[in-house]
Amino acid sequence: MIKMAQACQRRDKTGRQREELSCMLVGDGAVGKTSMVISYIFNGYNSDYRQTAFDVFTGLVHVNGVPTRIKLIDSAGQEEFGHLRSLCYAHVDVFILCFSLVNPVSFQNIASKWILQIRGGNRTAPIILVGTQSDLCQNVDILILLAQRGTKPVTESQARRLARRIRASDYLECSALTQHNLKDVFDSAVSAAIKRKEVGKNCKKLSMLRRLKAFWGGKLRFL
């Protein structure tokens, strides 16, 4: 099931063409991906919202004065939805790759599972690595539970090392409950996607100029 907010017009009131970006949240189930989207879109945490296989939300943000239509794709992390996820990867402009700071297994799965899946379907889209549920890192009950399992929350240094390893554009920690750094996560994703698109446009222009130069150079040799 796909849920989509009301679509925005492609042009703003001044007639400027709007940028359009697709952003997909990927990661293990129960790491807080849906909570992030809901808290960001509706500016508040909603524990009653229930995710389906794929929920899609659209919104409008302004980047450097340019209205940008962003499509947020909230993907379920369970194995049974793997085929659906893989169909989407190639069409995504930026990935928000999530793990829970209080779930070390979800952190390990970033390198052993998720980055392989993403790069298998999309080799160029930027990735923002995000440690979720930062509000739980000081929760005594959670810390006791982790200690009983012989583990502890993922540290920032561990996460930054992984971010460098997978060549993520950025690493941030956030909380959907308190909204700490939540806006920064999506701002970083939008900025990375726009930067990547600009690089792509410039490469196309350069390629076209080279082809024209080669074409006219060949013509001149025959004159």
CA 137/CA 173 separation, integer angstroms: 11
pTM here is 0.82
Q: What is the pLDDT of residue 186?
A: 94
Rg (CA), the chain: 20
Q: What is the pLDDT of residue 101?
A: 99
Structural tokens at position 173: 């920690």
Closest C-alpha to 23, from 83, 84, 66, 68:
68
CA 143/CA 208 separation, integer angstroms: 57
Pick the CATH number of 19-221 from 3.30.465.10, 3.40.47.10, 3.40.50.300, 1.10.260.40: 3.40.50.300
Report which residue type is found at 6.
Q
Return the ∠ at Cα 3 (arms to 41 and 22), rounded to 5°.
65
Q: Indicate the range of 5-14, 36-45, 129-138, 176-185 predicted with least confidence.
A: 5-14
Digit-coded pLDDT (tens) for 9-51? 344 455 555 678 999 999 999 999 999 999 998 888 766 666 6
Higher pLDDT, 175 or 7: 175
Mean pLDDT value across residues 69-83: 79
Q: Is the model's pLDDT at 202 over the cut of 60?
A: no
Domain boundaries, the chain: 19-221
Q: Indicate the range of 34-38, 85-89, 164-168, 191-195 predicted with least confidence.
A: 85-89
